[in-house]
Amino acid sequence: MKKHNFSAGPCILPQEVLLKASEAVMDFNQSGLSLIEISHRSKDFVEVMETARDLAIELLGLEGKGYKALFLQGGASTQFLMAAYNLLETKAGYLNTGTWSDKSIKEAKLFGEVVEVGSSKDENFKYIPKGYTIPDGLDYLHLTSNNTIFGTQINKFPVTDAPLVCDMSSDIFSRQLDFSQFDLIYAGAQKNMGPAGTTLVVVKEAILGKVSRQIPSMLDYQVHISKDSMFNTPSVFAVYVSMLTLQWLKDMGGIAAIEKINQKKAQLLYSEIDLSPVFDGYANKNDRSIMNATFNITDEKLKDTFDNLLKEAGINGLNGHRSVGGYRASMYNALSLDSVGVLVDVMSEMERKG
């Protein structure tokens, strides 16, 4: 039986995508060859890469606005340093909203001065800082749109003259935003787009080429742009599956359509968390993520019963991150409203037992 997969990452992907991907592994486009045993320079694969890049730009509404999409390797973690390598000349601002921002700050400090414009570390990242001041003269301001571990999400993005860099690993393609307010967006594929192994980078070309340092080729956005994401062998499988997922999203009506479903899923789960005396939400209500919902069980003695019920219902991946504890339900695009319904049924059964 297929399980209800609430895993935080690598995450659930649409069934039809998994099916098509497995077919391509055996026989790609009726070529008698596997997708993963052909040249990345072959016409068939070049077309995959182009389609994937075009779909990303199209779904984000960035056509004709001076952006390039790249599929790179090294995960979002490599983007922590690559963003700084390419953009940080003297001083950059960082909003610290959790573990991933913390890690990006650590890398940026290797390249220049880092101003932490705001932080919610004082409350273990339960909230998104607001009303912070952004100093003048920043090379860029770095944000993490969704905090996968703590279950918070930025709803209102700051307005600033500095270029905006955003780690959208865990909420890209999940909600409508004016994506042109960002100058650099990056996202590891494995949260909401595909398997691990590739990272989507969407960059406004005009912000590049301004730092004085030499940049190693593999870490230089301009090199990857000039080679159409084929400077070296790309992760062909991860790019292909990402392309299929983006196609799936486009066919269902794009970000506008998926956002409606994502809102419904989040409402269903959060209203159960708020109603039930057995569970307590972790993140501040105003800053709750529609992708990752974090909550605790109020009476630890009920934990085993709950865990057993989850198992019986075929629910996978609900354990909280080790730095927060409790539970985390990740409701990425491919997770159905029905799966959230199954979880909510188990939670209300707990109420009767609690």
Ligand X SMILES: *Cc1c(COP(=O)(O)O)cnc(C)c1O
Nearest to 269, CA basis, from 183, 329, 218? 329
Identified catalytic residue from 68, 126, 191, 204: 191
Of residues 5, 6, 7, 9, which one binds ligand X by CB under 6 A?
9
The rounded distance, in Å, linking the Cα atoms of 165 and 261 is 27
Residues 277-296 that bind ligand X (CB under 6 A): none
Q: Annotated catalytic, 191? A: yes
| Minimum CB distance to ligand X smaller for 76 or for 84 | 76
Residues 205-244 that bind ligand X (CB under 6 A): none
Kindly state whether residue 75 participates in binding ligand X, applying the rule CB under 6 A: yes
Kindly state whether residue 144 participates in binding ligand X, applying the rule CB under 6 A: yes
Closest distance of CB 102 from ligand X, Å:
10
Closest distance of CB 120 from ligand X, Å:
15
| Minimum CB distance to ligand X smaller for 93 or for 278 | 93
Q: Is 323 exposed, middle or buried (0-12, 13-18, 19+ CB in 10 A)?
A: exposed
Q: If DSSP codes are grouped into helix, strand and coil, which group holds residue 113?
A: strand
Identified catalytic residue from 68, 126, 139, 167: 167
Binding mask 11-50 for ligand X (x = CB under 6 A): ----------------------------------------
Kindly state whether residue 77 participates in binding ligand X, applying the rule CB under 6 A: yes
The contacts of residue 172 (CB under 8 Å, 6+ apart) are 145, 185, 187, 191, 192, 193, 200
The rounded Cα 50 to chain-centroid distance in angstroms is: 21
Closest distance of CB 150 from ligand X, Å:
10
* Contact criterion met (CB below 8 Å) for 321 and 152: no
Closest distance of CB 97 from ligand X, Å:
9
Kindly state whether residue 332 participates in binding ligand X, applying the rule CB under 6 A: no
Of residues 7, 96, 120, 169, which one binds ligand X by CB under 6 A?
169
Closest distance of CB 167 from ligand X, Å:
5
In angstroms, what CA-CA distances link 221 with 143, 186, 252, 253, 277? 19, 12, 32, 31, 50
Is the C-alpha dihedral spanning 215, 216, 220, 223 positive or negative? positive
Task: List beta partners, residue 199.
Answer: 72, 188
Q: Annotated catalytic, 167? A: yes
Tokens of 219: 């870490």
The rounded distance, in Å, linking the Cα atoms of 339 and 337 is 5
Q: Is 123 exposed, middle or buried (0-12, 13-18, 19+ CB in 10 A)?
A: exposed
Asked if the peptide bond before residue 234 counts as cis, ω within 30 degrees of 0, the response is no
Closest distance of CB 289 from ligand X, Å:
11
Task: List beta partners, residue 265.
Answer: none
Of residues 153, 170, 229, 339, which one binds ligand X by CB under 6 A?
170
Kindly state whether residue 191 participates in binding ligand X, applying the rule CB under 6 A: yes
Kindly state whether residue 118 participates in binding ligand X, applying the rule CB under 6 A: no
Kindly state whether residue 93 participates in binding ligand X, applying the rule CB under 6 A: no
Interacting residues with ligand X (CB under 6 A) = 9, 75-77, 100, 144, 148, 167, 169-170, 188, 191
- Please give the positions annotated as active site: 100, 167, 191
